Amino acid sequence: MLQSRISLFLLLMLLIALPAHAKITFGVVTSANSLLWSEKQAGFLTNYLANQLAEEVSVQTFSSEKTLHAWLSRYRLVDVAILSDSYLASQAPGEFFPLAGYVLRQSPQKTSPELIVARQGLNPWQLQKLQKILFTMGDNPTGLNILNELQVLAIVPPGLSPKELADLLPKAPEIPTEPKSEPAPATEPTLAIKTPEPQILVTAPPAPASRPPETAIVHVEPSPPPAKPAAPAPVVKPPVPPEERDLPRQGEALMEIPRGKNETDRTASGTQASYRVEWVADEVYAALSSPGGSATSNAFFVVGPEYVVAGGAHMTKQAVDDLVTAIRTVTPKPLRYFILAHHHIGYSHIDFDFPAGVDLIISWQTWKAMDDEIREVNRPILFFSDGLTLKLGERTIILTNMGRAHTEGDTLVFLPESEVLFTSDLVYVKSVGYMGDGHMEDWLLTLEFIERLGARKIIPGFGPISSTDEIVRFKDFFREMVTAVLKHLERGDSLEQTLRTFSLPEYRNYNGYDQFLRLNVRRAYLDLKENFLK
């Protein structure tokens, strides 16, 4: 029995390396909306989405909007839904993700479109693909036929003003009228000329103008900025982006800026020893931990119109002070919010000492871990359950609670406009990492999820800015370590025997091999024995 269970788990680890067949479920109450008022109507749209996504899209009908709401938000068994305007108006802001709006032919004068919504926590890449497909249906002959079948005038980005909506909607063609002819003088004969009937060209509605969707779920008003900080010591500024003509189009990868003759791999970051700042994308920076400094994990920050949002983990007081100093080498704007990616239980000397005026944004598991410490949290906390989306000027910050993995509750941060993903300690580059609080099975599945997000640039917990290839390499190392531990368990080896003989020679050059590998193996052995081999 034990051997078969181990074999099953090993098979699972092999399978998660293969592309998964994603599935999207579309929920609808046919009697409560004017778009998909029957299963047949719903099938037109979902079949089109399935063909465009190359993924399965199913329809689930419900008898009431209250039940659909529960399946969408609480159980998360429905991904996309259409709810009536009246029902949406009765819900709290941020309950759903506004995916797209639609205007029906029989109600073109409406000042706001009806909404198609998605559940919080849906994969960012799925949201982007769905929006792109919906907004461009009018450009596709099949999509245009379906819009006509559904009596839809246009599918548009959500949150448009009445003027913006009017500009996007197709204009009715003007019918020319015959000018009135003046009567001819009685003394002169008139010549009757028969003019052809005016022909009216009926054209397909133009596709909505391409624009970034307004996807704000939570928009936090900034507090008055503090007094202007003292000017920092002169430092080397971050690299200047290429000229505008060389910038890639929206959605394309930004090229790495070449280093100068005397420039190191990372840009200098001022009078502090913990972080090196690297430009990642427009107003997005990585703060990479420096050897010998107070930081033990990478951080990031995004510069907004009025303030800065940053994120990271293992934040001692000195690391926080050094991060603030590093930020000031880029902008004088104040740090307003800090996204704490996770917290290790029992470490009350970290993650508590932030400057006045900085609020924390954390998962509910991280909040619980901090609330159980001997120290009290003395600042405002914003915590979330499944996910949270922030709007910082023109930039979107999507937070996803991955639950158990590196700790009890790890947060992913995705910036869709620049396709940048901050993983914190869920991913290490050329390092065995720290797994002292990890959950092996959950962590492996989380790595599979991260890989499928398709981000162009990864800011890991340790190591340089990387690509998705490094996620695959760390997952390969993780899988080999767990597989080796399971083989020891299968043989009946004790923990002491396992630690004494365990070795992964092909990864001996990884950072932390001598310092952390035994600790990681110990945690993997105990976790798998307790939670998997019951």
pLDDT in tens, 478-500: 999 999 999 999 899 999 999 99
Q: How far apart are CA 530 and CA 387, in angstroms?
A: 29
Among the candidates 146, 168, 190, a domain finishes at: 168
Nearest residue to 49 (alpha-carbon basis) of 114, 127, 153, 154: 127
Q: What band does 292 get if pLDDT is binned at 50, 70 and 90?
A: confident
How far CA 458 is from CA of 22, 45, 112, 286, in Å, comes to 23, 34, 38, 10
pTM (whole model) above 0.75: no
Q: Mean pLDDT, to the nearest integer, of 110-137?
A: 82
Residue 152 domain boundaries: 20-168
136 Cβ contact partners less than 8 Å away, ≥ 6 residues apart? 143, 207
Residues 131 and 270 in one domain: no
* Residue 150 in domain: yes
Structure tokens at 474: 């760390």
The residues near 148 (Cβ < 8 Å, ≥ 6 apart) are none
Is residue 273 domain-shared with residue 418, that is, in the same domain?
yes
Give 499-511 pLDDT, tens digit per residue: 999 999 999 999 9
- Please provide the DSSP assignment of 296-347 as one string: -S-EEEEE-SS-EEEEES---HHHHHHHHHHHHTT-SSPEEEEEE----TT-
> Which one of 168, 185, 202 terminates a domain?
168
Q: At what angle do helices 440-452 and 468-491 cross, to 10 degrees?
A: 160
Give the residue among 105, 57, 65, 106 at the shortest CA–CA distance from 82.
65
SS3 449: helix
Residue at 119 is within a domain: yes
| Domain boundary pick from 471, 487, 516 | 471
The values of phi and psi at residue 479, to 5°, are -65, -40
Residue 76 has a pLDDT of: 66
Identify the helix (H) or strand (E) that includes residue 275: strand 275-281
Q: Could you tell me the CATH number of the domain that includes residue 159?
A: 3.40.190.10
Indicate if 160 and 282 belong to the same structural domain: no
Q: Which of 410, 409, 422, 399 is nearest to 94 (CA)?
A: 399
In a domain, 199, yes or no: no
Q: Are 414 and 455 in contact (CB under 8 A)?
A: yes
Has residue 178 been placed in a domain?
no
- Tens of pLDDT, residue by residue over 190-208, are 333 333 343 333 333 333 3
Q: Are 343 and 309 in contact (CB under 8 A)?
A: no
* pLDDT (0 to 100) of residue 414: 96
Amino acid residing at 264: T
Determine, yes or no, domain membership for 136: yes
Amino acid at the residue 265: D
CB 485 within 8 A of CB 324: no
Q: Residue 366 is part of a domain; what is its CATH number?
A: 3.60.15.10
Q: What are phi and psi of 41, to 5 degrees?
A: -60, -45
CA-to-CA distance for 334 and 376, rounded, in angstroms? 24
Reduce the secondary structure of 357-416 to three states and give it as a string.
CCEEEEEHHHHHHHHCCCCCCCCCEEEECCEEEEEECCEEEEEEECCCCCCCCCEEEEEC
At 210, is the secondary structure helix, strand, or coil?
A: coil
Kindly state whether residue 222 falls inside one of the protein's structural domains. no
How are beta strands 80-82 and 114-118 bridged, if at all? antiparallel
The rounded distance, in Å, linking the Cα atoms of 285 and 288 is 9
CB 299 within 8 A of CB 285: no
Quick one: 276 and 413 in the same domain?
yes
Residues 463 and 430: beta-carbon distance below 8 Å: yes
Does the pLDDT of residue 189 top 80, yes or no? no
User: CA 30, 33, 38, 42: dihedral to nearest 10 degrees?
Assistant: -110
d(CA 335, CA 332): 9
Rounded mean pLDDT of the chain?
Answer: 78
Can you give the pLDDT at residue 532? 66
Among 301-305, 369-373, 375-379, which stretch is predicted with the lowest mean pLDDT? 375-379
- In this structure, are strands 420-428 and 457-462 parallel, antiparallel, or unpaired? parallel
As a whole number of angstroms, the distance between CA 92 and CA 326 comes to: 38
Query: pLDDT tens, 373-400?
Result: 988 888 889 999 999 999 999 899 999 9
Statement to judge: residues 136 and 275 lie in one domain? no
Residue type, position 44, single letter: F
Are residues 271 and 137 part of one domain?
Answer: no
First to last CA, the chain: 11
Q: Which two tokens stand for residue 404?
A: 């158990």
Q: Is residue 245 part of a domain?
A: no
160 and 309 share one domain: no
Q: Is residue 189 part of a domain?
A: no
| Domain count for the chain | 2
Phi and psi torsions of 158, nearest 5°: -75, 160
- The DSSP letter of residue 238 is P
Let me know whether 139 and 274 are in one domain. no
Confidence of residue 519 (pLDDT cuts 50, 70, 90): very high
pLDDT surpasses 80 at 74: no
Strands 308-312 and 335-340: parallel
Angstrom distance (rounded) from CA 358 to CA 354: 6
Chain segment 25-44, per-residue pLDDT in tens: 888 888 887 788 787 888 88
272 shares its domain with 150: no
Q: Are residues 159 and 288 in the same domain?
A: no
